[in-house]
Amino acid sequence: MKKLSDHIPLVTSYFLVLLFVYAGASKLMDFENFQIQLAQSPIVSAYADPLSYAVIGIEFVISIALLFQSTRLTGLYASFGLMAAFTAYIYIILNYSEFIPCSCGGILEKLGWTEHLIFNLMCVVLAASSIIITEKKLQSKTKIYISKISVSFISSIILVIVLYQSSEYIIKKENNFTRRFLPHAIDQGIPLDLKANSFYFAGNFSDSVYLANIIAPLIIGKIYPDFKELILDTLDLDKKDLDFRGITVQINYPSFTISDGKIPAIYEGQFPDKTAYILNDNSIFFSQLMMIRKGNYLFRTHHKIKKENIVGTIQFSQGEQLPSVKFNDQFLEKQIDGLFDTDGCFVRDLKTGEFIYTYYYRNEYRRIDKELKLLGSGRTIDSTFKARITVTKTNNGQIKMNRPPLKVNSMQYAYDGLLFNHSNLRGRHESEKLWKNSAIIDVYDYQKNVYLYSFPVRHKPGEKVRDFIVTKDHIYVLTGQNIIKYRRTYKPRI
């Protein structure tokens, strides 16, 4: 008469067949979602494509092996190795991963990660027990099958560790355009109605936010950290008789600057005085201007001879009739025309003092200091190394784009060593629905040239994210007539 233990291998085999067939079928029926889940995994993101096919195939092959007596022992060893790998995977997520993703679906849909770990451990023990019982029945040498079990267990764990480490390197250093979306990078957000969609961010001081208005250029708004209301005020200029074409307000509290690069003119003021005093009105034309400190500015301009964008600094000194101007004509790298292909945007990290320039039409950002010294460069995670633009020279000598370019990067903000980049390109394994209803923000450690994670900022249909800024604890977003305050629920260790 057979002992009760003699039935364990058969019962375990049928149980594992049910588990693997159900799991494989569930993944197959929702294959796109399964690939997305793997792509968002902190362990195997870089291998989402091959693993999505391999895991399903292995589960079905093991199930077939478990059904037949002649291959059952091989199937048990394979099951043991596979469940050991799954267990190591979950253990790494719980103990070493930078974040814990949403739990997987299928038969274990209702289980959390800890419960999932316990379930997998039980399956490992069942498979190991069944192997031992079967090997004993076959009168195999104890040392041999214990060695085989040990090798299978250790090999599975090493495989997962290797996948984890190599995937981390690929995602952060050699990304194949696979985004890693954190499930809770920001909270739900608190909206505040501004009654107009013409505001843009002029700056912030701690969590007090300053807004300027493109329609009424001297009107500024302030929102205190309690985020209750927009308080409007009016700035003034000591000289108002210029032919203004595009006024921009920047607040680097307590200083503020009002500029128009097409005149050109730079005004400067300091709160609580709301009047800005002109520094120059005929010196250097510029397309971008950022305050370094009072009287000192970083700017981008058009080189008249080279017909290319270059960057420089301008220093206004009291008692000096002319400002001190310095140029760096090597910082922006020409690919096609030196004008449109180098178009992009400067942002300043107030914490590190660095300026980061992100190109609009290629996957690169470059870092510079206040002395115009190149500090380094990095890549965004898409594959657009060269700007996809075509330019034409008109009869009067003007250079124009003759078709819409592929815009790679849209808006940026830098805070405490992190570059937040609003990307325009859809990555691998990303749903169309997500892109229709969200702005995607990619986050980089720009000093190490490392991609960290991404998160969506939801917006209403027909509305787009116009601007955003980041503080220590919050992210503020302008969309439609609203400003939305999000709490940063995840802060990476850099």
Residues 358 and 419: beta-carbon distance below 8 Å: yes
Whether 214 and 146 share a structural domain? no
Averaged pLDDT for residues 88-109: 70
The CATH number of the domain holding residue 277 is 2.120.10.30
Whether 160 and 121 share a structural domain? yes
Last residue of a domain, one of 116, 145, 173: 173
Total domain count for the chain? 2
Residue 190 CA to residue 484 CA, distance in Å, equals: 5
Residue corresponding to tokens 């049910």: 18
Residue 438 CA to residue 458 CA, distance in Å, equals: 4
Whether 41 and 162 share a structural domain? yes
267-317 tens-digit pLDDT: 999 999 999 999 976 778 999 999 999 999 999 999 888 889 999 999 998
Whether residue 178 is contained in a domain is answered as: no
Top pLDDT among 94 and 352 is at 352
The total of other beta-carbon atoms located within 10 Å of residue 476's CB is 23
pLDDT band at 59 (very low <50, low <70, confident <90, very high): very high
Whether residue 74 is contained in a domain is answered as: yes
Is the per-residue pLDDT at 6 higher than 80?
no
Whether 146 and 284 share a structural domain? no
Residue 493 CA to residue 429 CA, distance in Å, equals: 26
Query: To the nearest whole number, what is the mean pLDDT of the chain?
Result: 89
Q: Out of 107-111, 341-345, 352-356, 399-403, which region has the weakest mean confidence (pLDDT)?
A: 107-111
Whether 207 and 75 share a structural domain? no
Last residue of a domain, one of 173, 203, 237: 173
Whether residue 181 is contained in a domain is answered as: no
Last residue of a domain, one of 173, 205, 229: 173
pLDDT band at 40 (very low <50, low <70, confident <90, very high): confident
Whether 441 and 345 share a structural domain? yes
Whether residue 105 is contained in a domain is answered as: yes
107: which DSSP letter?
G
Length of the chain: 494
Top pLDDT among 334 and 317 is at 334
Residue 94 CA to residue 96 CA, distance in Å, equals: 6
How is residue 115 written in tokens?
């419960």
Is the per-residue pLDDT at 333 higher than 50?
yes
Please give the pLDDT value at position 48.
81
465-470 and 474-479: which strand pairing?
antiparallel
The model carries a pTM of: 0.78
Whether residue 179 is contained in a domain is answered as: no
Whether 141 and 263 share a structural domain? no
Whether 155 and 194 share a structural domain? no
Residue 404 CA to residue 483 CA, distance in Å, equals: 30
182: which DSSP letter?
-
Please give the pLDDT value at position 1.
44
Q: In what order do the strands lie in the sheet with 482-487?
A: 190-193, 482-487, 474-479, 465-470
Residue corresponding to tokens 């208005």: 213
Range of the structural domain that residue 151 is part of = 4-173
352-369 tens-digit pLDDT: 999 999 999 999 999 999
Whether 196 and 261 share a structural domain? yes
Whether residue 315 is contained in a domain is answered as: yes
Residue 116 CA to residue 95 CA, distance in Å, equals: 14
Whether 215 and 147 share a structural domain? no
Is the per-residue pLDDT at 399 higher than 80?
no
Outline where DSSP puts E strands in 40-105.
Answer: none
Residue 335 CA to residue 464 CA, distance in Å, equals: 30
Whether residue 494 is contained in a domain is answered as: no
pLDDT band at 432 (very low <50, low <70, confident <90, very high): confident
Whether residue 184 is contained in a domain is answered as: no
